Homo-oligomer: A and B are copies of this chain.
């Protein structure tokens, strides 16, 4: 039997879970997020594509009370309190030396690493693909039945200095993870219309 696009299509409940009913979370119930859950999230989102399979994303799980409070002081505006209310915060960074892994993850093309010897385009590739993997991570957190609170309003240099010494990684975002307290929140913000975003040639 031919597999048609109709039978392969994502069902309505899953579309609601990942996109339509999912909301950025700023407050959470007390429910913990286990390492096993984080592993399940990674084991799902690791398959999503990056340029030349570069996979630059690196994650720091901030768990101890001391580290969590220190991180909270490095957030903009109300984001510090969002960190304090979350059971787990994940610092999402991009490895600027992702190209050292290309012989292993892009093995059919031995020249792959040499594409990235210039620092400036290499760092741009790290951030671009790190941003893609941040997006996959948000979807993967929701796929596990958890809620994600991604934040780019952060003091990235301070976080790098506090938690990334000796690592050549650029901090991109902090994502709070947990079960959202759905009593707290605001109405969904407007989205651009199809006609504002899509044109045809």
Contact = CB atoms under 8 A, between A and B. Distances in A.
A143 to B, nearest CB: 4
Contact of A192 (B55, B132, B152, B197): B55
Contacts of A146: 5
Q: What range describes how many residues of A lie at the interface?
A: 35 or more
Given A55-B192, A63-B200, A8 B17 contact: yes
Contact of A135 (B132, B150, B189): B132
A137 B163 CA distance: 32
Given A14-B14, A192-B105, A199 B61 contact: yes
21 contacts: A5-B37, A7-B145, A10-B17, A10-B18, A18-B143, A19-B47, A20-B44, A22-B47, A24-B49, A49-B150, A58-B198, A61-B198, A62-B200, A64-B201, A67-B201, A105-B189, A105-B191, A128-B128, A128-B131, A128-B172, A132-B132
Given A10-B145, A15-B44, A39-B198, 14 more contacts: A5-B31, A9-B145, A14-B14, A15-B143, A19-B44, A19-B47, A47-B188, A59-B198, A60-B198, A61-B201, A101-B196, A106-B189, A108-B186, A131-B132
